[in-house]
Amino acid sequence: MGVDIGGKELVTYIPIVTTVGLAIYVTWQALRPKIGLVNPGIEKNEQKVVNSMDIEDIGDSIAFCRCWRSKKFPLCDGSHNAHNKKQGDNVGPICLKRKSA
């Protein structure tokens, strides 16, 4: 009855094979760079978050958030630093300034 390998039924290997397989998967998941949501929390009820601003309203300088973690979104409030540290990332804002300023 059943398939024999080295005098044991094949079915007896299922738990160890499953455990090893899952352990490999878990390790791979833990080590690979995680790619997923860029925006975990801002206006998630919107289908697409696009912000607009008139150039005349910018003033002498401005920094726009590109990490999607700012409490002042769409402006940068420095939250990119905590995100970069936590996730091993390297994002930062786009900064605009007036030459004349």
Two structure tokens written together for 2: 């059943």
**DSSP three-state, residue 75:** strand
Q: Which of 42, 78, 84, 96 binds ligand FES (CB under 6 A)?
A: 78
In the list ligand FES, its own copies, none, the entry touching 3 (Cβ below 5 to 8 angstroms by class) is: none
31 binds its own copies (CB under 8 A): no
Two structure tokens written together for 7: 């005098």
> Measured between alpha carbons, how far apart are the two ends of the chain, in Å?
86
Site string for its own copies, 66-85 (x = CB under 8 A): xxx-----x-----x--xx-
